[in-house]
Homo-oligomer: A and B are copies of this chain.
Amino acid sequence: MSPHFGLVKRTTRELMLHFNNSLFGGRFQSVLGIMSKGVNLRELSNRLKLSQTTVSRALNGYPEVSAETRKRVAEMAEELGYAPNSQARRLATGRSMAIGHVIPRSIHEMMNPIFLEFIAGAGETYSKHGYDMIISVVEDDHEEDAYRQIATRKKADGVIVHGPAADEHRHKLLKEINLPFVVHGRIPGAESETTWVDMNNRRAFERATNLLLDLGHKRIALLNGLEHMDFARRRRKGFEDALAERGLAADTAIMRSSDMTEPYGCDNAMEMLKSDSPPTAFLVSSMISAIGVARAIGQCGLETGKDVSIITHDDALSFLPNSGEVPIFTCTRSSVRYAGQRAAELLLDIVASPQREPSSLHLDAELIIGQSTGPVPGR
């Protein structure tokens, strides 16, 4: 309005500065909080007597802006507490800046603690890169629908596939709807065409079994996870391979497959220990079940690590630490949280450059000696 734009501008700005600092900086911080909610790009650019274009570019680091202007913009943005509305930005850029995790209700019952630990790891990566993590808990028969919704409604730029089954199919759907994904675990038969992060389940259980065999154990029980899951199949394979190599056959009478709860471990161990030919060692797929096994051993008046040995897989869950100089359980350990971090990184890579070739990360589990193993008694 006035021809002296430059002057007026500076004056106004200084006034505003003063205004904010004195009036709002002090006891009315809450008022500022409420006000700052309303500051959008238009308002900010008006205040600066700049176009939205320039302000946007200044804030997003584009080169077409002078250093001085950029500084001014940054300061004013800070002052007014401006932050871009994510929905608007998402709409404009076409990227939702979010990664989805679909959890069917039934599956997450079983994956419970391991899943959370993975999520925690992935979440760290996401927030480091400015991504949101959205989790959908859906009824089992809505799983496919959930993925489709994510794609068509553009809710997320990619998803993590949890707990691949032995006869997995989700990867086909995801390719069909063109939704980037990373698998936690492996999809049998699709290893080379999908990006995944997994630990070496077969090898880990093979090594664990060998250790028990070396200790003289011949009758080894396997308390596995649900064997319609890929990871459980691989573990079983490792177990059987190790036995076979020494000319031993696995005895299905002392092999179980189920959700890895504590009572599962206890009940089955109890039953086996009371049988005619009880196992002298247990190979268990989860710390939680292993705790149950230990309880059963105790209830039978036996001692873990002396009368009966246990090796368990340890996902390094934070609420079930199995560390210290000599951990409670001898275990094959692999941090599932770390897997989450890495899987998230791979996924963000794919989202950033979708043409990228599938890659994979094979984590090795450590075999760590704890208190729960010893030579077979009476050897």
Contacts and interface: CB of A to CB of B under 8 A. Distances in A.
Given A33-B177, A319-B112, A85 B153 contact: yes
A108 B317 CA distance: 12
Copies in the complex: 2
Contact of A320 (B87, B262, B321): B262
Contact of A117 (B112, B120, B318): B112
Interface stretch (A6-14, A232-240, A276-284, A290-298): A290-298
A324 B30 CA distance: 52
B112 A318 contact: yes
B105 A116 contact: no
Contacts of A317: 112
Nearest to A90: B87
A216 interface: no
A342 B320 CA distance: 28
B83 A318 contact: no
A134 interface: yes
Contacts of A263: 321, 324, 328
A123 B152 contact: no
B96 A123 contact: no
Question: Most chain-B Cβ atoms within 10 A of its Cβ — which of A96, A132, A324?
Answer: A132
A87 B37 contact: no
Given A134-B98, A152-B83, A176 B29 contact: yes
A199 interface: no
Nearest to A113: B113
A319 B120 contact: no
Given A86-B96, A109-B318, A119-B137, 20 more contacts: A33-B178, A37-B151, A84-B153, A86-B154, A86-B155, A87-B90, A98-B134, A103-B120, A103-B123, A112-B113, A112-B317, A113-B116, A115-B116, A126-B137, A133-B135, A133-B137, A261-B319, A261-B320, A288-B319, A295-B298
A127 interface: yes
A213 interface: no
Nearest to A266: B328
A46 interface: no
A67 interface: no
A91 B149 CA distance: 18
B123 A137 contact: yes
Nearest to A287: B262
A108 B120 contact: yes
A41 interface: no
Nearest to A324: B263
Contact of A112 (B84, B116, B291, B299): B116
Contacts of A149: 83
Contacts of A112: 113, 116-117, 317-319
